[in-house]
A = this chain, B = another copy of it.
Amino acid sequence: MKYSERIEDIAKRVNEALNRFLPTAEGPQKRLFEAMRYSAMAGGKRVRPMLVLEFCRMCGGKEEQALPFACAVEMIHTYSLIHDDLPCMDDDDFRRGRPSCHVQYDEATALLAGDALLSLAFETGLCNNMQSGVLAQNALRAMGLLAKASGGQGMVGGQMIDLLSEGQHIPLELLETMHRGKTGAMIRAAAAGGCILAGADETRVQAADAYAAKLGLAFQIVDDILDVTGNSQTLGKPAGSDVGNRKSTYVTHLGLEEARRLAGRLSQEAVDCLRVFGEERAFLSDFTLRLLNRDH
């Protein structure tokens, strides 16, 4: 199967599973379920669930062992976008080319839809392991990792730092801490979680984690470069949303050339981390280098 077909194929299976795990839009709280579906099924590249599934597969696991966790990761990503778009946060009226959740519905519904997606993520990841033969202790560990990655020491913590440093110049170290929280933590949990659910040994879990940490950083740097040189397309935000801000980026800190060099080095190091997965790593290596060389 060609690279692009394979990417599409994975996204299709993730979408099918999400559709299965999301509540059907009926009953007295129908509006809530509609809003959850509106945002969760709005497309998106499904990069995080793809990482879950690929790491599970590379460790010899079956896809059904990782699908609930993959959907949990995507639900958390979706909830973070809904809350990020709210008027008290980024106040974005559009998301993925459509009205954002609070514009399509209303603020209260969007707030609750985000809240419900976060709970549903944990329900999905916790309540669907028996059938697929995942060991309880592995499910517990992967979900614990996800809980930590999504919270105040991870994603939400990164959002808070972002909020506090709005429009300000911040030191490179804090910029990195912010990105490690905001996007890095969930990507790392996705990669490590996929391995854990497949019952992988500690060496592979650590390699996946190291890979994902480098991938997340490289992606962010490339994004900062594209913000200056052309189209940007972050893992979460709409293209170009940061243009015009006086905010710190890798480019303002390092300059274009040095930023490019750093992104290239991190991508190569990320690919190197995949060695322990043997021949099966070809697809993910390809994916990693394509991310570096993307032009949007």
Q: CB within 8 Å of B: which residues of A?
A: 23, 27-29, 31-33, 36, 79, 83, 86, 88-89, 106-109, 111-112, 114-116, 118-120, 122-123, 126-127, 129, 135-137, 139-140, 143-144, 147-148, 150-154, 156-161, 163-164, 174, 177-178, 181
Given contacts A28-B164, A107-B88, A161-B28, contact A140 B152 (CB under 8 A): no
Using Cβ atoms and an 8 Å threshold, which residues of chain B touch A148?
119, 123, 127
Q: Name 8 A/B residue pairs within 8 A (Cβ), A-sorted.
A: A23-B152, A28-B174, A36-B152, A83-B111, A119-B147, A119-B152, A120-B152, A126-B144
Copies in the complex: 2
Interface centre among A36, A88, A159 (most CB of B within 10 A): A88
Using Cβ atoms and an 8 Å threshold, which residues of chain B touch A114?
115
Residue of B nearest to A28 (CB): B161
Using Cβ atoms and an 8 Å threshold, which residues of chain B touch A161?
28-29
Using Cβ atoms and an 8 Å threshold, which residues of chain B touch A107?
88
Given contacts A32-B156, A88-B108, contact A140 B147 (CB under 8 A): no
Given contacts A86-B111, A88-B108, A163-B112, contact A153 B28 (CB under 8 A): no
A159 touches B126 (CB 8 A): no
Using Cβ atoms and an 8 Å threshold, which residues of chain B touch A111?
83, 86, 88-89, 111
Residue of B nearest to A106 (CB): B88
Residue of B nearest to A107 (CB): B88
Q: How far is the CB of A201 from chain B (nearest CB, A)?
A: 18
Q: A118-B119, A119-B150, A120-B151 are in contact. List 5 more A-B contacts (CB 8 A).
A: A28-B164, A28-B177, A83-B112, A114-B115, A129-B140
A275–B192 alpha-carbon span in the complex (Å): 46
A143–B126 alpha-carbon span in the complex (Å): 7
Q: How far is the CB of A184 from chain B (nearest CB, A)?
A: 14
Using Cβ atoms and an 8 Å threshold, which residues of chain B touch A109?
160, 163
A157 touches B89 (CB 8 A): no
